[in-house]
Amino acid sequence: MEDYKALSQEHIFNTYARLPVTFVRGKGCRLWDDNDKEYLDFLAGIAVCNLGHCNPEVTRVLCEQADTLIHVSNLFYTRPQIELAAELTRLSFADKVFFSNSGAEANEAAIKLARKYSKDRYGEGRFHIVTMKDSFHGRTLATLSATGQEKVHKGFEPLVEGFAFVDFGSPAAVENAITERTCAVMVEPIQGEGGINLPPANYLEGLKELCRKHDLLLIFDEVQVGMGRTGRLFAHEHYGVTPDIMTLAKALGNGLPIGAMLATNQAAEAFVPGTHATTFGGTPLVTSVALRVLRIISEPSLLERVRETGEYLMGRLRELQQRRPSIREVRGLGLMVGAELDRPGQNVVTKLLERGYVINCTHDSVLRFVPPLVVERAEIDRLIQALDDALAEETQ
């Protein structure tokens, strides 16, 4: 492990605060390091490996497609891409799909589509987008500019012009930020990096009504919350509101890099040949895998299991909260769960890693639990015991 750590420090950009573990293999909810130590994974690559590591069916499709056709230019048709797009639109509000390589690229495409749609409809000058404080939309220049966290902006100014940030959860704040230059409202139905923040009742409905009133596009960023994570295929289904544009990534390929922007026909018509493109987005390899992942995750029995297991996880965490008052609040939906501490949480993350449990901390003090959707109750029980021990040490 030390040799690889030294090689990494010598040859790889120092852009991650890496933890001192080198993982070499995974299966389901388990990971093993280069000393063959086993870990229980409650992070899933940050909500990526929703079907667990090396899911046999995903691996079978990956190998078959790798032996058939990996890549051709998007100048040509390929069956897996078309079949995935057809399935995504069948299962959602959308009519059209644009494939990319990541969530940031999907959000970049959404920002461009909103601006182009507005320019085609209203002419120059109407390109501002209202986004939320504590949001996270990516690390490209436009998506970090759209992100409502100052720490993400630092060092990259001047940012891309045209984003207004308001408090998450307040339709009135959004309405106050709307001007004649506004073209869209962009929001995560549940904030992930911002600390697992759920919307208040009727919030998304309020945003939908504002967008209808001012003829704005409503963009839902479901990069982290989508693909079954909350117990529905898409998080916005919990609230009965559909957007004009939605972005997906992370779990769509269960570990293979793929992003997607979905839109209604009305919005999608703003993109024509030459306005937007990608070299690697939607290759036969990743779309064949994503199609299989989508079909497995959209099974009602799996989604019901996510809801039940998520309630069990939150229930166990709330029990622990009674004994450990350093847990200020437990919140979440499905298997997207946060436990906010009354102090920074990184020490707890490190203590759990030493015990063989992988989680992370977001927004400084929120322990984030986003395990593979196939996690078992017995594995949750083991995590809770380890967390109890770690918090006991922390408060000694």
Please indicate if the annotation marks 223 as binding a ligand. Answer: yes
| Closest residue by Cα to residue 247 from 260, 236, 237 | 260
Alpha-carbon span 25 to 50, nearest angstrom: 16
Euclidean distance between CA atoms 246 and 234, whole angstroms: 10
Is 394 annotated for ligand binding? no
Cβ contact 88:260 at 8 Å: yes
H/E stretch holding 33 reads strand 30-33
- Strands ordered across the beta sheet of 38-41: 23-27, 30-33, 38-41, 357-358
Q: Is residue 120 part of an annotated ligand binding site?
A: no
Q: Which residues contact 165 (CB under 8 A, 6 or more apart)?
A: 130, 131, 132, 133, 135, 148
Residue 115 annotated as binding site: no
Q: What is the DSSP letter of 134?
A: T
- Alpha-carbon separation of residue 36 from 144, 355, 356 (angstroms): 38, 14, 11
Report the C-alpha gap between 104 and 304 in whole angstroms: 29
Q: Cα angle at 79 between 73 and 85, to 5 degrees?
A: 95
On whether 52 is known to bind a ligand per the annotation, the reply is: no
95 is in an annotated binding site: no
350 belongs to an annotated ligand binding site: no
**Listed residue (242, 284, 270) closest to 99, CA to CA:** 284
Which residue of the set 41, 163, 221, 351 is catalytic? Answer: 221
| 222 known ligand binder | yes
Which of 42, 127, 136, 271 is an active site residue?
Answer: 136
Which of 116, 208, 250, 351 is flagged as catalytic? 250
Instruction: Indicate if 136 belongs to the active site.
Output: yes
221 is catalytic: yes
* Residue list, annotated binding site for pyridoxal 5'-phosphate: 103-104, 136, 221-224, 279
* Residue list, annotated binding site: 103-104, 136, 139, 221-224, 278-279
* Residue list, annotated binding site for N(2)-acetyl-L-ornithine: 139, 278
Catalytic (active-site) positions? 136, 221, 250
